[in-house]
Amino acid sequence: MNFPLPNFLPALPEIFLLTMACVVLLVDLFLTDRSRGATYILAMASLLGVCVLIALSFSHSRILTFSDTFVRDPMADALKMGIMIAAMVSFLYAKDYLREHGMFKGEFYILGLFGVLGMMILVSAHNFLTVYLGLELLSLCMYAMVAMQRDSAIASEAAMKYFVLGAIASGMLLYGMSILYGVTGTLDLGLINERLPNVQDKILLSFGMVFLIVGIAFKLGAVPFHMWVPDVYEGAPTAVTLYLAAAPKLAAFAMLMRLLVDGMASLHGQWQDILILLAVASMAIGNIIAIAQANLKRLLAYSAISHVGYLLLGVLTGTTEGYAASMFYALTYVLMTLGAFGMIMLMSRQGFEADRLEDFKGLNERSPWFAFIMMILMFSMAGVPPFLGFWAKLSVLQALVQSTGLLWLAITAVVFSIIGAFYYLRVIKMMYFDKAEDSSALIASNDMRVVLSANGLLVLGLGLYPGLLLAFCLATIVSP
């Protein structure tokens, strides 16, 4: 047997990130606690380097390498750049928080970088094995990050729950993969898609597909596989919550696209029904239970569940417009969630988490500017025009209306989005019309102020020119 050297070039960003993660790991070992800032700078530089590498070699067509297990296409490049930016922003927001809470350790950045590497592999996967490899690399890093504050009982509990449920989900996914391997005889997603119509045993095929979707739904946090989301979001340190609420959502979207669209497009009629069920349940449970939450992190967790429901709406149409709308939605959601968790971290101080809704009371008196930023983010999450979140919802709904027989689903989505608007608007009401419990001014470093402001204004600015991001998403999805 002879192994020719594969084409390494498409995976250059991944190889660079792996090397840099190892370098950061080694450099951090020889730093003292006082010079720990170097780890942060090096980690940010690595992410920036990957971002530049991808931008310089942005692909225009689909390239397969490593025996067709790794794919590089415009969608992968766009999502990877989104992941890089999200990871960089979350590292930046997290810096002060970690310092104040005595968690400013190199391991946060090392695990973060390896997690990003896992996301990149997941985004570029073209084989069941690569999907699993990327997913596990990402998940294992996130379990460890949730457990980083090991003296905190609530964080340990969250990590334990996350780990057990994540392991079950991985098991389900692997079971589904093994069945699909059994009926098609290949692990390659492209070949599976070709061979699926010829499979004789339809029942076994559906069985495998259902297990695969259960695994994906667990990772996305769609109802009824959402139980881990609120506990993990609340229990994890806010810096970690921010990390795992933002960038991995893009990776999970990519996983959905790779497995269902690249791998099983020919079974669209079957997985559409399952996704409809997941989407409706997620929108309903997420939006209704969020109303009862007094903890902002928990509220945002339920809001994440409902947003996953809207994200599924685009994918389930099975059209290019639908996929692009979902990608637009995923990017928009990540942008908004970064800002929202950034606000919690901006308000928190040593020994004070600022994760209760009451902590936002009277924010307008303490800092009119950041109250305004938070207002933009909340309006956008609720889907109020002209903010970006509205256009994301609109494009998903448009894709639904254009495909036949899904009008009722669009109407359901609108109804639940109106229900959901209540709890976002309540935050705004608390900020502007309630009396502040403590009226101390906000303390934050300048870089955090600048980036958080830019983050909020971007949600407004891109909302004023909504065509830009959507056209970009459409362009990346169409080309393969």
Q: Is 318 left (phi over 0), alpha (psi -120 to 50) or beta?
A: left
Q: Which is nearer to another protein, 6 or 171 (CB)?
A: 6
Report the run of H or E that residue 72 belongs to, with start and end: strand 70-72
Q: Which is nearer to another protein, 106 or 208 (CB)?
A: 106
Task: With contacts defined by CB under 8 A, name the span among 19-27, 186-194, 199-207, 455-463 that binds another protein.
Answer: 19-27
From CA 100, how far away is CA 83, in angstroms rounded? 26
Q: What DSSP letter does each residue of 213-250 carry, written as one string?
A: HHHHHHHHT-TTS-THHHHHHHHS-HHHHHHHHSHHHH
Q: Which is nearer to another protein, 9 or 22 (CB)?
A: 22
54: Cα separation from own chain's centroid: 19
Min. distance of Cβ 256 from another protein in angstroms? 30
Min. distance of Cβ 113 from another protein in angstroms? 13
Min. distance of Cβ 23 from another protein in angstroms? 9
Beta carbons of 400 and 406 less than 8 angstroms apart: yes
From CA 146, how far away is CA 160, in angstroms rounded? 9
| Helix (H/G/I), strand (E/B), else coil: 374 | helix
From CA 284, how far away is CA 289, in angstroms rounded? 8
From CA 20, how far away is CA 5, in angstroms rounded? 23
From CA 131, how far away is CA 69, in angstroms rounded? 9
| Helix (H/G/I), strand (E/B), else coil: 130 | helix
Q: Give the number of other Cβ atoms within 10 Å of residue 185's Cβ.
A: 11
Q: Does 2 help bind another protein (rule: CB under 8 A)?
A: yes
Q: Which is nearer to another protein, 2 or 198 (CB)?
A: 2
- List strand residue ranges (DSSP E) for 159-219, in order: none
Min. distance of Cβ 6 from another protein in angstroms? 8
Q: Show the tokens assigned to 429.
A: 């009401």
Task: With contacts defined by CB under 8 A, name the span among 21-29, 95-103, 231-239, 302-310 that binds another protein.
Answer: 21-29
Min. distance of Cβ 232 from another protein in angstroms? 23
Task: With contacts defined by CB under 8 A, name the span among 17-25, 174-182, 184-192, 383-391 that binds another protein.
Answer: 17-25
Report the run of H or E that residue 63 belongs to, with start and end: strand 63-65
Q: Which is nearer to another protein, 22 or 411 (CB)?
A: 22
Min. distance of Cβ 29 from another protein in angstroms? 5
Min. distance of Cβ 137 from another protein in angstroms? 12
Q: Does 26 help bind another protein (rule: CB under 8 A)?
A: yes
Q: Show the tokens assigned to 165.
A: 């449920």
**Which of residues 7, 12, 13, 25 is near another protein by CB under 8 A?**
25
Min. distance of Cβ 117 from another protein in angstroms? 12
Q: Which is nearer to another protein, 2 or 61 (CB)?
A: 2
Task: With contacts defined by CB under 8 A, name the span among 2-10, 129-137, 287-295, 381-389 that binds another protein.
Answer: 2-10
Q: Does 269 help bind another protein (rule: CB under 8 A)?
A: no
Q: Which is nearer to another protein, 102 or 386 (CB)?
A: 102
Q: Is 334 left (phi over 0), alpha (psi -120 to 50) or beta?
A: alpha
Q: Which is nearer to another protein, 143 or 423 (CB)?
A: 143
Task: With contacts defined by CB under 8 A, name the span among 20-28, 150-158, 347-355, 398-406 that binds another protein.
Answer: 20-28
DSSP character at residue 297: H
**Exposure pattern of 440-478 as b/e (b: 16+ CB <10 Å)?**
eeeebeeebbebbeebbebbbebbeebeebbebbbebbe
Min. distance of Cβ 160 from another protein in angstroms? 15
Beta carbons of 133 and 66 less than 8 angstroms apart: no
Nearest to 77 by CA among 267, 272, 327, 291: 327
Q: Does 440 help bind another protein (rule: CB under 8 A)?
A: no
Q: Does 27 help bind another protein (rule: CB under 8 A)?
A: no
Q: Which is nearer to another protein, 15 or 153 (CB)?
A: 15
Q: Which is nearer to another protein, 1 or 56 (CB)?
A: 1
| Helix (H/G/I), strand (E/B), else coil: 140 | helix
> According to CB under 8 A, which residues from 28 to 47 bind another protein?
29-30
Task: With contacts defined by CB under 8 A, name the span among 4-12, 241-249, 282-290, 374-382 that binds another protein.
Answer: 4-12
Q: How many residues lie near another protein (CB under 8 A)? A: 12
Give Cα separations from 182 to 50, 68, 72, 201, 212 (angstroms). 37, 20, 27, 11, 14
Q: What is the CA radius of gyration of the chain?
A: 21
Q: Which is nearer to another protein, 29 or 441 (CB)?
A: 29
Min. distance of Cβ 3 from another protein in angstroms? 4
Min. distance of Cβ 208 from another protein in angstroms? 22
Q: Does 22 help bind another protein (rule: CB under 8 A)?
A: yes
Min. distance of Cβ 1 from another protein in angstroms? 6
Q: Which is nearer to another protein, 26 or 292 (CB)?
A: 26
Beta carbons of 300 and 337 less than 8 angstroms apart: yes
Q: Does 357 help bind another protein (rule: CB under 8 A)?
A: no
Q: Can you give the binding site for another protein, defined by CB under 8 A?
A: 1-6, 18, 22, 25-26, 29-30
